[in-house]
Structure 1
Amino acid sequence: MALTLTVSERRRLKTMAYGRKTEYQARQRASIVLLAARGRSNARIAHETGLHLDTVRVWRGRFAHGGLPALADRKRSGRPAHFTPVQVAEAKALACQLPAETGVPLSQWSCPELAAELTTSGITDTVSASTVRRWLREDALKPWQYRSWIFIRDPDFRAKAQRVLDLYARTFEGFPLGEDQYVVSSDEKTSIQARCRCHPTLAPSQARAMRVNHEYGRGGALAYLAAYDVHRAQVFGRCEPKTGIVPFMNLVTQVMTTEPYASARRVFWIVDNGSSHRGQKAIDRLTTAFPNAVMIHTPVHASWTNQIEIFFSIVQRKVVSPNDFTDLTQVRNRLRAFEGRYNATAQPFQWKFTTSDLDNLLARLDRHTPADRQEESSVALAA
C-alpha cells in the first residue's frame, strides 16, 4: 500500500534524500519513504536501495504511524553511569590541587597519576587514564601544563609602563611628538655563540628536514647590541666582546651621530633596567654625552614592553638558530648582513597593547592577588 505525502512532507523528504549535507542514515530513511509513496513494495525498495528488507519495513512503518518526526533516532537509555557526579567532581578537585598538597612527590599531575591517586585515596574503585582525561577535558583542565610568571614589584609600574606606551603612540607627557622627535628601543642580546658543528649541516630535501649535527666545537661568544627606531622601523646594531657601560655608549654614539638623530630635537631611548643603563647615573651619562637624548626606563621585570625584544626574537629565529658558525667573524658578518636585509623591507611593529589594556591587566592582577600578599608587597616596597 502506497504512503500518502503532503506537499511539505514531500519537499522535506526530497531535501533529506538529495541534500549533500544530509547524514547518510537520514538520506536512506527519506529514500525509503519516497519510494514507498510511489507504490513500491518493500522487497523492491530493498532491492533498489541495497538495504535489508527488515530495515525497509521498520522505517516505512514508523513513518506511517508517526510521520517525519518518526524518522529520527529514538532516545536510548545507554549504559548506566559507572561513576557518580560526586566522584567526577572530586577527581576534578584533585586535579586542581598541587600534588605536594596531597603528599604525593610529584611536580604536576598526569592523567595516569591522577587515576592511580583516585584509586589509592578511595575516591573510585578502578578508573582508567582515558576516563580521567575525558573528565578533565569537560572543564579544559590540564594540570600537566604550567606557565611561569613574576609578581609586579615595581612601585611605579603603571607610571613607567604608561610612559613607554604613550611614546609608542607618539605622545609624551600629554603632548604629541613632533616630526623631529624619535623613539628608539634598545637592549643587548648576550652570549651569541659560534658553534662549529663536527659535521656539515645538511640542507633540507624531499620528505627530510634540515639536519644539524648535535656535536660542536665552541668558537667563542659575543654580545649583540641593537637600537630600533620604533616608528621608522630601522635597526642599528653592533657586536661587542661583552656588555657593559662602554659598549652601550658605543651603540648610543653610533646612533646619535647619524642623521636624523644628530640634529633631532629629542631622541627617547627606551631601555630596561640592565646594569649597562640602570638608574639615574645612566640617565645623567646619556644626557651629558648627548643633550637631546632622553632615557626612559621600562618597569622592573617588564622587558616585554620594550619593542627591541621583538626584533631580538626575529634574530634568534632567522639568524642564530640553528647555530652553525665556524667562528665569531662569521657571526658578525651574518648579523650585519641581516640588518641591511631587514632595514630594506621592515615595517613598524603593529603594537596593540595600550594604556587601556594596561589598566585592565593591573585590575585583573588585583582581583587574583590575595589581600595578605598585597600587604606583604606594600611592606617590602616601603622598606
Structure 2
Amino acid sequence: MTNPAPALVVSDGQRAALEVLSKSQTASHREVQRAQVLLMAAEGLANESIAKVAGTSPGTVRSWRARFAEDGLSHLGEVRAGRGRKPVIPQSKIDEIVDLTRNSRPEGQTHWSVRTMAAKVGVSPAQVQRIWAARGLKPHLVDTFKLSNDPRFEEKLIDVVGLYLNPPEKAIVLCMDEKSSVQALDRTQPSLPMKKGRAETMTHDYKRNGTTTLFAALDVATGKVIGSCLPKHRHEEFLVFLKTINKEVPQGLDVHLILDNYATHKHPDVKAWLANNPRFQLHFTPTSSSWLNLVERWFRELTDKALRRGAFHSVPDLIHKIEEYLAAHNTEPKPLVWTATADSILKKVARGRVALETIKQN
C-alpha cells in the first residue's frame, strides 16, 4: 500500500475562497467539486477517500492537488488546453446572451424564454439553459417588493424587531392581525379522490356561501395562537377580540401587541379601552411592511393547509374548519423564530432605495 499524500498546504485566504466556492449555487458543478476536493485534501484525507466522497477518481484528485500546488487559485476554474470537451459556443456568444438577458426584452413580451433567446442568437435552447443556470439567471421568475414610505419607518422597525430579539420580562409579545373576508367557497361538483397515477381533482368553479373575518394573535415565544372568527372587520369586533386576549393572557403579564396601521386599531373607542387596560401596549409596524408581522406566516400556513383546497357549505362550516385547524395547531405549537437584526434590514432597505433611484435616473 502507498502512503497517504501529505495534507495540502492551503493559506487562510485560499481556504476562505475555496469554502465560498464549495457552497456556490451559480458556479459550475466541476468548480464546486474541485473546491470540495481541495478542502478535503487540506484536511489530510487520503486521495482514495476523497474520491469516494466527491464522486470522482483518485487520479483526478491527484491531478487537482498537483495543479493547485503549482498554480494556487489562479487557474482553478479553467480547463487545460488539450484536455476535456472543447467549448461549443464562443465566449462572445455567451456574453451576448447574458447581455440580452439582463438588458433587453423580446419584442412584444415581458421576458426571455430559452426558446426565444435561442431563436434570437442562433443556438439551442439547451445551451441557453446551461448558460443561464451557470450564472444564476432566471428571467421567468420575478420577486415582488415594496419599500415603505412611512416617515417613521426606522423607529417602528427598531421597536418591533427589538420585541422579537429582546422580549421584555413579565410580558407576552403577540403578533396580531385580521384575515378579513375569508370566503366559504363550495365546489359545484364533488371532488374526485387521489388514486394511483392521478392527483386529487376538484372543479375550477365554485359558489360563494358568505364570508367571515378571522382575528388572530400569535404568541412569539411559544407559537400558540389566540383566534376568533367574527362577522365583520370593524372597531367593534376589534374590541371584542382585545377582550378575548385579555381573558386568555394570565393577569400579571403585560401584553405587547404588534399590529398594522388599520384605522380600526386607532379608533377613539379602542383608545378609551386601552386607557382603562394599561397592561396592553400597541406597537405598529411601518406601512407596507406586513412581512414584519409573524402572524402573516401563520395565515399563509392556514390558507395552504386548511382553506385553499377546502369546500365549505356555509359560513358556520368554514368557521368550524378554521377552529379545528386552530385547535390542532395549539396542541403542538412551534415558535416562528426571528433572526434578522434591525441594522441588517435597514442596510438592505437602503440598498433597495439606491437601486430604485438609479433606475429612475436612467
Same fold at TM > 0.5:
yes
Aligned partners of 2:165 and 2:339 also within 8 Å? no
Superposition map of 1:326-341 within 5 A: 326-341=313-328
Range with bigger deviation, 181-190 or 359-368: 359-368
Aligned partners of 2:235 and 2:270 also within 8 Å? no
Aligned partners of 2:174 and 2:218 also within 8 Å? yes
Range with bigger deviation, 87-96 or 225-234: 225-234
Question: Letter of the aligned partner of 2:140 in structure 1?
Answer: W
| Residues in 2 aligned to 1:76 and 1:308: alpha-carbon distance in whole angstroms | 56
Task: Pick from 210, 218, 226 the counterpart of residue 220 of structure 1.
Answer: 210
What secondary structure, in the 3-state scheme, does the structure 2 residue paired with 1:288 have? helix
1:277 aligned onto 2:265: yes
Q: Which residue of 1 aligns with 2:224?
A: 234
| Cα distance change, pair 128–163 in 1 and its aligned pair in 2 (3 A) | same
Aligned partners of 1:227 and 1:251 also within 8 Å? no
| Residues in 1 aligned to 2:84 and 2:336: alpha-carbon distance in whole angstroms | 57
Aligned partners of 1:234 and 1:343 also within 8 Å? yes
Q: Which residue of 2 aligns with 1:361?
A: 348
| Residues in 2 aligned to 1:332 and 1:317: alpha-carbon distance in whole angstroms | 16
Task: Pick from 137, 145, 151 the counterpart of residue 147 of structure 2.
Answer: 151
Alignment gaps of 5+ in structure 2: 4-46, 60-80
Q: Which residue of 1 aligns with 2:99?
A: 93
| Residues in 1 aligned to 2:145 and 2:88: alpha-carbon distance in whole angstroms | 40
- Residue 242 of structure 1 and its aligned partner are, at CA, apart by 2.3
Q: Which residue of 2 aligns with 1:123?
A: none
Instruction: Count residues with an aligned counterpart.
Output: 297
1:140 aligned onto 2:131: no
Runs ≥4 in structure 1, deviation > 4 angstroms?
Answer: 19-24, 76-79, 280-283, 371-374
1:107 aligned onto 2:110: yes
Superposition TM-score, scaled by structure 2 size: 0.71
What secondary structure, in the 3-state scheme, does the structure 1 residue paired with 2:209 have? strand
Q: Which residue of 2 aligns with 1:204?
A: 194
Q: Which residue of 2 aligns with 1:117?
A: 120
- Residue 214 of structure 1 and its aligned partner are, at CA, apart by 2.7
Q: Which has the larger radius of gyration?
A: 1
State the superposition RMSD in angstroms.
3.5
Q: Which residue of 1 aligns with 2:237?
A: 247
Q: Which has the higher contact order (CA 8 A, sep 6+)?
A: 2
Identity %: 24
| Cα distance change, pair 96–343 in 1 and its aligned pair in 2 (3 A) | same
Task: Pick from 274, 280, 297 the counterpart of residue 293 of structure 1.
Answer: 280
| Residues in 1 aligned to 2:253 and 2:2: alpha-carbon distance in whole angstroms | 78
Superposition map of 1:5-24 within 5 A: none
Q: Which residue of 1 aligns with 2:246?
A: 256
- Residue 23 of structure 1 and its aligned partner are, at CA, apart by 7.3
Aligned partners of 1:95 and 1:143 also within 8 Å? yes
What secondary structure, in the 3-state scheme, does the structure 2 residue paired with 1:301 have? coil
Question: Letter of the aligned partner of 1:117 in structure 2?
Answer: K
| Cα distance change, pair 77–213 in 1 and its aligned pair in 2 (3 A) | closer
| Residues in 2 aligned to 1:366 and 1:192: alpha-carbon distance in whole angstroms | 35
Aligned partners of 1:198 and 1:217 also within 8 Å? yes
1:178 aligned onto 2:160: no
| Residues in 1 aligned to 2:348 and 2:242: alpha-carbon distance in whole angstroms | 33
Aligned partners of 2:285 and 2:293 also within 8 Å? yes
| Residues in 2 aligned to 1:141 and 1:333: alpha-carbon distance in whole angstroms | 45
CA shift digits 1:21-63 (9 cap, x unpaired): 9979x9xxxxxxxxxxxxxxxxxxxxxxxxxxxxxxxxxxxxx
CA shift digits 1:343-381 (9 cap, x unpaired): 22113222222334324423543553436869xxxxxxx
| Cα distance change, pair 274–83 in 1 and its aligned pair in 2 (3 A) | same
Aligned partners of 2:172 and 2:256 also within 8 Å? yes
Aligned partners of 1:244 and 1:275 also within 8 Å? no
Q: Which residue of 1 aligns with 2:302?
A: 315
What secondary structure, in the 3-state scheme, does the structure 1 residue paired with 2:103 have? coil
Alignment gaps of 5+ in structure 1: 1-6, 10-14, 27-73, 119-125, 172-176, 375-383
1:266 aligned onto 2:238: no
What secondary structure, in the 3-state scheme, does the structure 2 residue paired with 1:257 have? helix
| Cα distance change, pair 232–128 in 1 and its aligned pair in 2 (3 A) | closer
- Residue 88 of structure 1 and its aligned partner are, at CA, apart by 2.2
- Residue 178 of structure 1 and its aligned partner are, at CA, apart by 2.3
CA shift digits 1:220-273 (9 cap, x unpaired): 12111112222243322121222121211211111113441xx33531111012
What secondary structure, in the 3-state scheme, does the structure 2 residue paired with 1:347 have? coil
| Cα distance change, pair 372–77 in 1 and its aligned pair in 2 (3 A) | closer
| Residues in 2 aligned to 1:369 and 1:203: alpha-carbon distance in whole angstroms | 48
Task: Pick from 127, 134, 145 the counterpart of residue 131 of structure 1.
Answer: 127
| Residues in 1 aligned to 2:344 and 2:128: alpha-carbon distance in whole angstroms | 37
- Residue 301 of structure 1 and its aligned partner are, at CA, apart by 0.9
| Residues in 1 aligned to 2:357 and 2:85: alpha-carbon distance in whole angstroms | 46
Question: Letter of the aligned partner of 1:345 in structure 2?
Answer: E
- Residue 149 of structure 1 and its aligned partner are, at CA, apart by 1.2
